Amino acid sequence: MPQVKICGINDAAAYDAACHAGAEWVGFVFYPPSPRAVPPEQAAALAARGGTGRRPVNVGLLVDAEDALIEAVLAEAPLGLLQLHGMESPERCAAIRARFGLPVMKALGIAGEEDLALLAEYAPAVDRFLLDAKPPRGAELPGGNAVSFDWSLLAGREIPRPWMLAGGLTPVNVAAAIRATGAPAVDVSSGVERMRGVKDPVLVSAFVAAAHGA
């Protein structure tokens, strides 16, 4: 069954919806320019919520973060995976993984075949990949831009680490995306929002159901 990550969780309703629907991961954004950003203490409070449903793995999204910021985040928020969504080199990814003792997922922006060449370069340094659409020219954020890439680029391709598909996914198209790419996991943020930065619990539930049923 394909697994699901709901990224950009920043309120109790979204967190509860993700848990109740059975999402395997929830993502907290520690990148202040994002409308989905949360301070570490807010992420910790959300992660501590009880209620019914699965207890997802907490993922911290970081963009070219210095060690001091990562330390501050981890001092508050109980994370099980670090998502590096900036321009981090393979060497930087390996250093973060070694220093903080947590698995690392590197986000790679994909627009064409040439971008997939980076997989082999990063594979020794990371535990997972997130294959996202390359941000449009002039975009302010490295992800969550509600755009997709050509899924046929991934059809039948061997990815050297466990991976997630992201970029422009919604409850309507996620099943087709999984079938087209063979993605073992999917990640969504803007595709389950009722307005920019605000998750819709109904859309969260629908997305998880559609992905799990693909």
Positions marked catalytic:
7, 132
Judge contact between 151 and 181, C-beta under 8 A: yes
Q: Which secondary-structure segment (H or E) carries 7?
A: strand 3-7
CA distance 120 to 163: 13
Which tokens go with 106? Answer: 């590197």
Q: Which residues touch 85 (CB under 8 Å, ≥6 apart)?
A: 31, 61, 62, 63, 107, 130, 132, 142, 143
Please state, in angstroms and rounded to a whole number, the distance separating the CA atoms of residues 20 and 47.
13
Is there a contact between 169 and 206 (Cβ–Cβ < 8 Å)?
A: no
